[in-house]
Amino acid sequence: MRIGFIQATSDVDVHWWPSLAFGYLKAYLEKHLDRSVTMDRIGRQEMTNCDIVGISSTTQDYPIAKQIAAEAKKANSKVITIIGGSHITYLPETLTPEFDFGVIGEGEQTLLELVQHIISKGNARDLPDLVKIKGLIINWGRGNFFSDPRELIVPIDNIPFPFREPAHAPHLMTSRGCPYKCTFCSSSAFWKKARFHSAEYVVNEIERLVCMGATSIPIQDDLFIADKKRFQQITDLLIERKLNKRFISSINIRANLVDEWLLGVLNRFPIQEVHFGAESGSNRILQLMGKGVTVAKNQAAIDMITNQGIKVVCSFIVGWPTETEEELRSTYEFLINNIKMGKLDQSCSMNILSPMPGTKVWQDAIKDGIIDLDDLDFRRLGIFASYRTSNAKSFDNWADIRRQNNSIYLNENTVPQERLYQIMGEYEDVILGKR
């Protein structure tokens, strides 16, 4: 049996680090199945030779995922198509006939049991057996059947290290989920609760990557330092094994957790830069975001960390409902003032708020009538992240792409979108030194 994996992605929108979903799923299947089952990342032209095509997708890329699944069915009428990822987890009722199955949430064990069923029964739709597989949506003729929810894998150290693709620069995930619940972030809804790999598991995986030749290993957890005791244990183990001098890393933190203790551990950890969401230059907007921080606290965190010689990269969000022009400008001024002081630089992203399923912002947009699930082109949720991290040629080009995409905007009543573009364009020129 050959399983092909495809990540549905837009050609234009921002591309962060490649998802480790493929690596985790492949490693989990290899741990529990014999070599008669193979799983490979494939291109769309390779789907003809697959027994199963698995597609992972965010909501804004779901139309692309549907197109891929339709192409797979056209190329091979017997192929089984499976959709996983955040979209189908948040909106399972949207499963369409292009897909035979949907995997909700954490996918390793659900995919394993589904593949075992297919090995045993082939393409036969044995509904009584299929509904025993938890975390599954089954496309059954005129409707979809839902099995019971899947329990989370506990402890997550039971999950093997992900398969690593030679073509991809290595990055690391040492936890799943975030203990905080910002109103715009969907991570906590996907993972249900924060779970952490043990310090020994993390350092063992780092050692493995270092032995493979990695010298830079960014850690992409939502909040790497959420468990401070574990952070210290990881740092101690790296020093004990003499790994701390063999690689550099970047991590995600939170401004409210920055204190003298954290600085002390950071100075022992092989850190290159830290990232956190400063998000806004307005305390009122920060409160609406559920950040639990203030502008002053964000500045203090930047000051304390840069004073240690560690680079800080912040992300920001504009276009929040009710955000005034003054508040919008205060966010840009916060960034530009820190650039002038040499504490931040152009790598800090400025993003337009987009409502994502699984968030309070999404629910509010539905309540306010901005989103109608019965008549929503999911592509309209795309093109929101900073143009400096997208494939757009310029800010004006990026704004034009958003116009063509009819990207959803939530603050038309206070700062109309065209006025937002005008203000953003002015400040983006300043950031890039054009003014």
Question: What would the pLDDT profile of 351-363 be if each residue is shown by its tens digit?
Answer: 999 999 999 999 9
Task: Identify whether 151 is part of a domain.
Answer: no
Task: Identify whether 75 is part of a domain.
Answer: yes
Structure confidence at residue 17 as a pLDDT band (50, 70, 90):
confident
The last residue of one of the domains, among 121, 146, 171, is: 146
The amino acid present at 93, given as its one-letter code, is: E
* Residue 270 near residue 245, CB atoms below 8 Å: yes
Residues 186 and 314 in one domain: yes
Residues 189 and 278 in one domain: yes
**Predicted local confidence at residue 166, as pLDDT:** 83
Task: Identify whether 156 is part of a domain.
Answer: no
* Count of structural domains within the chain: 2
* Residue 270 near residue 244, CB atoms below 8 Å: yes
Instruction: To the nearest 10°, report the CA torsion of 358, 361, 363, 368.
Output: -160
Task: Identify whether 368 is part of a domain.
Answer: yes
Task: Identify whether 154 is part of a domain.
Answer: no
Residues 254 and 306 in one domain: yes
Helix ranges (DSSP H) in 33-140: 62-75, 86-90, 108-121, 127-130
Residues 365 and 265 in one domain: yes
Residues 209 and 358 in one domain: yes
Residues 176 and 136 in one domain: no
CATH code for the domain of 119: 3.40.50.280
CA gap 114, 99 in Å, rounded: 14
Question: What would the pLDDT profile of 130-171 be if each residue is shown by its tens digit?
Answer: 999 999 999 987 789 999 999 999 999 999 999 998 878 899
State the chain's mean pLDDT as an integer.
94
CA gap 35, 25 in Å, rounded: 15
CATH code for the domain of 251: 3.80.30.20
Domain containing 390 equals 163-431
Residues 40 and 68 in one domain: yes
The last residue of one of the domains, among 95, 113, 146, is: 146
Whole-prediction pTM: 0.94
User: In this model, does residue 115 exceed pLDDT 70?
Assistant: yes
The last residue of one of the domains, among 97, 114, 146, is: 146
Question: What would the pLDDT profile of 279-314 be if each residue is shown by its tens digit?
Answer: 999 999 999 999 999 999 999 999 999 999 999 999
Question: What would the pLDDT profile of 324-381 be if each residue is shown by its tens digit?
Answer: 999 999 999 999 999 999 999 999 999 999 999 999 999 999 999 999 999 999 999 9
The amino acid present at 342, given as its one-letter code, is: G
DSSP code, position 47: G
| Residue 65 exposure: Cα atoms within 13 Å on the Cβ side | 31
3-state SS string over 156-200? Answer: HHHCCCCCCCCCCCCCECCEECCCCCCCCCCHHHHHCCCEECCHH
Structure confidence at residue 389 as a pLDDT band (50, 70, 90):
confident
